[in-house]
Amino acid sequence: MESEHQPLAAGASSELYSQDTHTASESAFSHESRDVSSKPRGDGTPWYILPKRYIIAIMAFLGFANIYALRVNLSVALVAMTTNRSAYINGTLHTIAGPEFSWSSHLKGQILASFFYGYIFTQLPGGYLANRFGGKYVFGGGILATALLTLPTPLLTTWSPYLLVALRVGEGLFEGVTYPAIHAIWAKWAPQQERTKLVTFGFSGSYFGTVVALTVSGSLAESAAQWQSIFYLFGSVAIIWFLLWVILVTESPVGHPGISDSELDYIQSSVGYTDDHAKKVHPPWQQILTSAPVWAIAVAHFTENWGFYTWLTELPTFMTHVLKFHMDEGGSLSALPYLVMGIVVCMGGYFADVLRSAFGIPTVLVRKVFTCGAFAIQAVFMVAAGYLMSRAAAVVCLTIAVGVGGFAWSGFSVNHLDIAPKYASILMGLSNTFATLPGIISPGLTSVVVEDESSPSQWQIVFYLAAIIYGIGGVIYAIFGSADVQPWASTHHGYSSHLDDPEGPE
């Protein structure tokens, strides 16, 4: 099938699409004068029509929002399922029913961790499949399958907690492909000067999705619809998102029927390679697995996720049993750190690109300052949270400790695209494999350390451990992190015009 985007003359192509077209001294958004300015662009596209790469970013944002809504809903539902049901009557809180399920702390920890038992095994396969076949359907299909498994959760839970564990393992298996797959899309869609802000905007959906899920789940659990409605609602919303994703998103810019010539040229001249250069490549596994910059990313990813997953699964419990918040209050306040984190992720991505492009600060320095600086601040406030056990002080400290982690995502989470854009999905699969270990280890370890869920001193051990991990991770990333394209990941630069739709048959 002939593409509507016709090839340029060879001489014009080599001149216009060289890697040096955009220098570091250019403004981070200098292209907008010809692409997304307030005036009609050169190809006649009205200013109010969003560039297609921004639509990709919006759909990625909503996709990650669904991913985390499907993931964290159980954290709130589990509290509702295993504690007394209460209500205010004439201004006084009364217990109106006992817990629906009398599960031990150990079993609850295993239920919360079970998602990650499946999630960890599909990171590398997801990265490979997305690199080989493209990220669109790997990313979208992973979310769709997770949504379909979420819908029968209430029914299977009433039969056996072990069926709930099996169901969550299955959800983890399908959701595990999503993070690697999105990097396969960004490797083709994200221009270098906008790479951080586009990628982190998509990732920020995770935290806004967490906010919505924790807030709405807390309200639903206290409503007449009870905890079962949590799974019906979020499963249905994710299915609707998948239908929109299939309609609006294409694998690469050249495959998008509505993209303007100016946007296509801008993206592909900046990216430096196209589908033809990425298809049927054989990943250099030995070089990848022995690369210090790759492992520096993996360590940083593990570090950030340790604190994040600890509170993702345990914060509702901490809010309810230590700070004595009512369940609907605890759900809302548990969401606050993730609201802050979502905002910080977006801001961090924007500022990182400005520092790199407008001020010429080396990418490696930006990545390390954002990552290591965030870890240092998180460690300090994590320890402070262990001693300031008043409601207000604990909420403030935990909000800062979790929220500031958003800056780290402007460092390590985009770093895969810096050092090996052609293999970015595989590198994300590798780093996220290790970053999933906290989701498996932390809930079980917390359940062992915190035998009495209302004991502040036992929770302090959890805070100290997180602070130590932040410190170690920051030192390793500062020493071994890099932003240079690695020799084993070098690729032909230049724009090869497509005559065939990459999503069509080869």
d(CA 491, CA 422) in angstroms, rounded, equals: 7
Place of tokens 């801008």: 266
Residue among 253, 190, 265 at smallest CA distance from 15: 265
Q: Does some domain include residue 239? A: yes
> Beta strand 85-89 with 92-97: parallel, antiparallel or unpaired?
antiparallel
| Amino acid (1-letter code) at residue 6 | Q
Instruction: Give me the pLDDT at residue 327, please.
Output: 54
Residue 100 per-residue DSSP state: S
**Residue 397's domain spans which residues?**
49-88+102-487
**Measuring CA to CA, how many Å separate 225 from each of 89, 145, 147?**
19, 25, 19
| Whether the predicted pLDDT of 35 surpasses 60 | no
Residue 242 lies in a domain: yes
Number of separate domains in the chain: 1
Task: Look at residue 30 and tell me if it is in a domain.
Answer: no
- Indicate the pLDDT class of residue 48, thresholds 50, 70 and 90: low
pLDDT band (50, 70, 90) for residue 501: very low
- Tell me how far apart the alpha carbons of residues 50 and 35 are, in angstroms, rounded to a whole number: 10
- Average pLDDT of every residue of the chain: 80
pLDDT for the residue numbered 161: 87
% of the chain with per-residue pLDDT over 90: 37
CA 370 to chain centre: 17
What CATH number does the domain containing 303 carry? 1.20.1250.20
Task: Please tell me what DSSP assigns to residue 436.
Answer: H
Q: Band of the pLDDT at 19, cuts 50, 70, 90? A: very low
DSSP 3-state of 140: helix
Residue 214 within any structural domain of the chain: yes
- Average the pLDDT over each of 14-18, 195-199, 393-397, 423-427 and give the range with the smallest value: 14-18
More confident residue, 15 or 279: 279
Mean pLDDT across the stretch 425-436? 92
Task: Tell me, yes or no, whether 448 lies in a domain.
Answer: yes
| Any domain includes 40 | no
Q: How confident is the model at residue 27 (pLDDT cuts 50, 70, 90)?
A: very low
| Angle, vertex CA 239, rays to CA 235 and CA 245, nearest 5 | 140
DSSP label at residue 254: G
* Predicted model pTM: 0.77
Identify the band that residue 472 occupies on the pLDDT scale cut at 50, 70 and 90.
very high
Taking only the tens place, the pLDDT of each residue in 304-361 is 999 877 776 677 677 777 776 665 555 566 677 878 888 999 999 999 999 998 888 9
Residues sharing a CB contact under 8 Å with residue 491, sequence separation 6 or more, in sequence order? 272, 273, 277, 278, 421, 422
Residue 7: the pLDDT is 38
- Residue 355, domain member (yes or no): yes
> pLDDT tens across 102-130, in order?
777 778 778 888 888 899 899 999 998 98
Does residue 94 belong to any structural domain of this protein? no
- Tokens representing residue 147 in the block: 């949504």
Return the closest-CA partner of residue 231 out of 246, 216, 211. 216
Reading the block at residue 4, the tokens are: 């509507």
Per-residue pLDDT averaged across 4-17, rounded?
37
Sign, Cα dihedral of 231, 236, 241, 243: positive
Asked if residue 21 has pLDDT above 50, the reply is: no
Q: Which of 277, 262, 364, 252 is nearest to 24 (CA)?
A: 364
